[in-house]
Amino acid sequence: MKKCIAAIDMGTNSFHLIIVEVKKEKTFKIVDREREVIRLGSHKDGFKIISEGEIEKAIDILRDFGKIAQFYKADVRAIATSAVREAKNKNEFIERVFEETEITVEAINGKAEAELIYLGVQNALDVEQNRILCVDIGGGSTELLLGEHGLSEFAESVKIGAVRLSKMFFPDYMMTDSGIELCRQYIQDKINSNVNLHPAHKFDFAVGTSGTIVAAASIISFRRHKKFKKSMNGFTFSADEIFELTEDILKCKSPVDRLFIEGMEIKRADIIPAGLLILCQVFETFNLKEMIVSENALREGIIIDTISKMEEMQSMAI
């Protein structure tokens, strides 16, 4: 009988579901996927509270995801990140979700999130033997990990994300010179205050994952080839390309203006400037010349981790 697992990544900007069929030797095949945009904790109080409206929308999405999982008879594992782990009403949110959907939500810390992302990256790219810097820019936080042979040397979560900084520095998602300068300085200060984040690290290459980075890579690819690639996995872009794209996007004052940039995703036009400012600072902090894209991230890491846990339990039962 086929064994299926459903992984739900409850991010700050969107919820993702993947359903996989488990194969031999920790491999899997994705059989279904869904994505819903939801901005958790993104109202005026920042990330302190998940509002009633956000809770209800989250429950609606998770109820739908649960039905899809039931169709495949898949075991569900749901992981929540920055917005949920920081919310004062985190426990109430998790209880409400369980009461109404029977889905158990795990709100994990930033280090655990970075390590699950690293698992996902290793499944997408042949990097296990390499020393890599892994960068994931989310809605509420940015995860950075230095890893080699599947082990992390450091895993850091910095409270800078595309939704968070948009709310802080760009009211109504409108660009101003002062907002851009303040945002740049804030990002720099947050990164500089972390002792592990500095240019002296040696690694073979940098890998970027998730929304901002995949969206930026897609626009750069379109600029190069005048057509869309079906998959961005393994695509490499340069520092010059990302700096040029960021300048072009920052010149667009409003989200509507940004839609005129070829390849821009409609649902990301509002928050992409803040995400790109974070990415540019990461390039500068680590003196990166280029970055390779992994389409796998947290949700695929959840799958691999879940399969490993299942195998451990089976071996203990023998």
Condensed to tens digits (0 to 9), the pLDDT of residues 76-87 reads 999 999 899 999
Give the C-alpha distances (Å, rounded to integers) separating 33 from 17, 40, 65: 5, 21, 9
Strand partners of residue 8: 17, 78
Give the C-alpha distances (Å, rounded to integers) separating 300 from 4, 36, 116, 163, 220: 13, 17, 8, 23, 25
What are the residue ranges in the chain where pLDDT is below 70? Answer: 1, 42-47, 317-318
Give the C-alpha distances (Å, rounded to integers) separating 190 from 141, 217, 239, 243, 318: 11, 25, 21, 20, 49
Query: Contact at 8 Å (CB) between 284 and 5?
Result: no
Structure confidence at residue 43 (pLDDT): 61
- Tokens 């846990």 appear where? 309
CB count, 10 Å around CB of 133? 23
Strand partners of residue 205: 132
Sheet with 4-10, edge to edge strand ranges: 28-37, 14-22, 4-10, 75-80, 105-107
CA–CA separation, 240 and 230 (whole Å): 24
Structure confidence at residue 13 (pLDDT): 87
Positions of CATH 3.30.420.40 in the chain: 4-108
Query: Contact at 8 Å (CB) between 83 and 40?
Result: yes
CATH code matching the domain that covers 4-108, chosen among 3.40.50.800, 1.25.40.420, 3.30.420.40, 3.20.20.70: 3.30.420.40
CA–CA separation, 187 and 127 (whole Å): 28
Structure confidence at residue 46 (pLDDT): 62
Structure confidence at residue 309 (pLDDT): 87
Positions of CATH 3.30.420.150 in the chain: 126-298
Structure confidence at residue 316 (pLDDT): 73
Structure confidence at residue 313 (pLDDT): 77
Superfamily classification of domain 126-298: Exopolyphosphatase. Domain 2 (3.30.420.150)
